[in-house]
Amino acid sequence: MVKKIFDILPPEEAEEPEIIKRKEVPVPVKIVQKEASLTEIISPSLKGLSFNFGSMLLVIGLLSLGIFCFYKYFNFAKAIIEIYPEAKLESFQTEMIIDEGESGRSSSSIPGKIYTAEKTISKEFTASGTTIKESKAEGVIRVYNAYSTSPQTLVINTRFISTEGKLFRLKNRIIVPGGHYEGGEFVTGFIDAEVRADQPGEEFNIKTSTFSIPGFAGTAQYTYFYGKSFQPMSGGLKREIAQITQKDLDAAKETLEQQAMNECLSGLKEQIASQPDLVLLEKTAQFKILESFSSLDAGKEAERFTFTIKAKSSVLIFKAEDEKNFINDFISSQIPLEKKIYQKSLSVERSVNEIDLDSGKIILSLAVRAKIYSGIDEISLKKALKGKSLSESQFYLENYPQLIKSSITLWPFWVKKVPQNEAKIRVELMLD
């Protein structure tokens, strides 16, 4: 029997009886190795550590808040300073020459360039005039002489009356041959003659008819001298028709001149459309008529006519930047050095003194208005205010000589001083 020997016996075990253990043969044990999951590897159990981890999160949160507040205070803090300097609206008057021959700006002129555009316009117009169109019917009649063998003279305008009662007259003097005898029978003499109606009108366009000569009425010749037509009379007319008047031509010309001028200006504007800095003054454009004609003259009988205009327009164009710099230079020469021009307030009224595009020059009169204010050194102002409290800053601004009013805003709300970083100080000029 084998005894177990202990160097130190626990009290509770010292009183136990001795146990004789049987020697046993060890049985092999199969060990199954289980692979740990990815989740278990990455996130092992935190049991027993929850209190420490929560404390750590609290510390991290407070630390982050502190860093954020520090960054917020020192990096997001800013000051907005609104200043209202002394300002006065002033008026100035000067002349400016736009000269195609100049290559640069001078104290009296700026460079310009002549642009041209041509347009040809044709348009149909309606005649407004009216006239009475009238004509007399005409034809040929055969005049017979059954009276004698002697010829008979009939003078011009001898009257012939048709069976319808329409009066016609001989257009020319005629001699009606006398009759003659053949085999003991009398053969009537005759002659064909042109006649014209006594009055204009379509009612004289009669068919074939027999005509008497009223001049022989009451005599034996009346029944022996007569006429016959073998074709209808034609050409008789009397009605109102359209007529072109000089007033129509003048009105058409005026209309097309205005249209041509507008289209020429549009053409000029299209040429500079891609260059917005160029200035085109319409009132300085010159307009010339190169051709002007009508398809019909005044007095012509027609309902419609066509009028054509060919025109050319020229203008001297300049750059807005050149004009602005010219004006600024002029105003600067008229005000004290410490004064400045408020550019947003600048306004210009132009009037034309002279136009001479043949020499490439235009002289304009400029009426300029602008606010002139006392200059403020913003850099020095920022340096003076940085690091100052709100009250100190306000006091400083209230005693700034060139300012009539000011205000200061600090952001965020807990900021009590103007930032030391001048980049965080914004000065806003209040002149509007």
Residue 288 above 90 pLDDT?
Answer: yes
3-class secondary structure, 222: helix
Q: Which residues contact 281 (CB under 8 A, 6 or more apart)?
A: 315, 350, 352, 364
Kindly report the CA angle at 306 between 248 and 285, in degrees rounded to 5?
80
In one-letter notation, the amino acid at residue 41 is: I
**Nearest partner of 325 among 112, 110, 131, judged by Cα:** 110
d(CA 317, CA 112): 5
Q: According to the model, what pLDDT value does residue 401 have?
A: 87
Q: Round the average pLDDT of the chain to a whole number and report it.
A: 86
Q: According to the model, what pLDDT value does residue 431 have?
A: 86
CB atoms within 10 A of CB 120: 13
Cα separation of the two ends of the chain:
115
* 5, β-bridge pairs: none
| Integer angstrom CA distances of residue 410 from 104, 209, 272, 372, 391 | 48, 118, 49, 30, 11
Q: Sign of torsion, CA 65 67 71 73? A: positive
Entry field: residues in the chain: 432
Residue 310, CA atoms < 13 Å, CB-side half-sphere: 3
Residue 224, CA atoms < 13 Å, CB-side half-sphere: 20
In one-letter notation, the amino acid at residue 217 is: A
Confidence at 5, pLDDT banded by 50, 70, 90: very low
Confidence at 9, pLDDT banded by 50, 70, 90: very low
In one-letter notation, the amino acid at residue 326 is: F
d(CA 221, CA 146): 9
Residue 127 above 90 pLDDT?
Answer: yes
Quick check: 131 and 216 in contact, CB under 8 A?
no
- 149-189 confidence digits (pLDDT tens): 999 999 999 999 999 999 999 999 999 999 999 988 999 99
Element (H, E) at 287: strand 286-294
Q: Which residue has the tokens 């999951």?
A: 37
Q: According to the model, what pLDDT value does residue 21 have?
A: 41
d(CA 412, CA 201): 103
E strand residue ranges, 295-338: 304-319
Quick check: 145 and 174 in contact, CB under 8 A?
no
Q: Which residues contact 265 (CB under 8 A, 6 or more apart)?
A: 117, 282, 285, 313
Q: According to the model, what pLDDT value does residue 60 have?
A: 72
Confidence at 8, pLDDT banded by 50, 70, 90: very low
Q: According to the model, what pLDDT value does residue 51 have?
A: 47
**Nearest partner of 168 among 130, 206, 218, judged by Cα:** 206
Which ranges of 191-303 would DSSP assign to H, the alpha helix?
A: 246-271
